[in-house]
Amino acid sequence: MQLTFLGTSSGVPTRSRNVSAIALRLPQRAELWLFDCGEGTQHQFLRSDLRVSQMRRIFVTHMHGDHTFGLMGLLASCGLAGNPERIDIYGPDALKDYLRACGLHSQTHFSYPLKLHSVKPGLLHEDADFKVSCGPLKHRVPAFGYRVEEKDKPGRFDLAQAQALGIPPGPVYGDLKASKTVTLDDGRIIRGSQLCGPTRAGRKVVYCTDTVFCEEAVELAQGADVLIHEATFAHQDAELAFQRLHSTSTMAAQVALAAGVKQLIMTHFSPRYAPGNSLTLDNLLAEARAIFPNTILAHDFMTYDVPQGA
């Protein structure tokens, strides 16, 4: 699992930061899942090593333009790129009307299946490898945070021990790797669990933006390996944060601390903290680390490999 930040500014783009979009790359499946799609996201794809043709799922947190204005253009480009797979899109109820109106008035037609899902708090998607759920956030319009959970994996298979036991290679190895119990041709019963190490915990990634501090974000982020949380404002601008229902650096850190996450990545920064101003993003980072030391700042095109659990 690898995260690529395609846009880390709030509200409007700057010369160095585009508006919100984060890609989750799942190399074992050759898939990309996108979270939010601000204006210009398809151009950010062109400047990265990500492949639009691998897009399979898009998750939209809320309907503000800095999170949605790039969506129609990106979907049209996916069709022109010859994307043969279905794309599933998840978001607030209004997303369906928005995309339908864009398609109607621009005469855009997709050459691939497109499935829209109106989200409600709870489980949204589950397959053999992953679960995706969402929870409500606290913003000026209906907004949702998303949680991606990789399912636990069997421990590493001890090939040398299997060979020492005289187990012939073939499909039986797959069953043993999956910790199944098998009966060999000679009558021996072998439990796969005896040949596998401890179960490896699945990874958990949580994305929370836009929101002021809320207990719902803490609940959604419980025990996450990575929490991506907006930090639009510095602590001294907390009054602005409450007025606009955005988070400060310290609010993001408090969510991370209360949820017991392993890594906090802050994003969605106001342009007011650009280099040369009285307060910069270094100040926001210092504020957050005073509460939650394991904090880093996202920047456009930053990649982060989510560590595999033990």
- Mean pLDDT in residue range 107-134: 93
Q: Could you name the CATH architecture of 2-153+200-305?
A: 4-Layer Sandwich (3.60)
Q: How confident is the model at residue 167 (pLDDT cuts 50, 70, 90)?
A: confident
Which of 36, 66, 210, 237 is catalytic? The answer is 66
Q: Which of 163-167, 272-276, 297-301 has the highest mean pLDDT?
A: 297-301
CA distance 295 to 242: 22
Q: What is the pLDDT of residues 152-162, one digit of tens each?
A: 887 778 888 88
| Confidence label for 309 from pLDDT (cuts 50, 70 and 90) | low
Strand 181-183 vs strand 189-191: parallel, antiparallel, or unpaired? antiparallel
User: Is 152 a residue of the active site?
Assistant: no
In the chain, domain spans: 2-153+200-305, 159-195
Looking at residue 176, its pLDDT comes to 82
Average pLDDT along the chain: 92
Residue 173 confidence (pLDDT)? 83
Count CA atoms closer than 13 A to 46's CA, side-chain side: 8
Q: How far apart are CA 249 and CA 229, in angstroms?
A: 9
pTM of the model: 0.87
Q: What are phi and psi of 125, to 5 degrees?
A: -155, 140
The pLDDT, as a whole number, for residue 82 is 62
Q: What is residue 130's three-state secondary structure?
A: strand
Within 13 Å, how many C-alpha atoms sit on residue 99's CB side?
Answer: 25
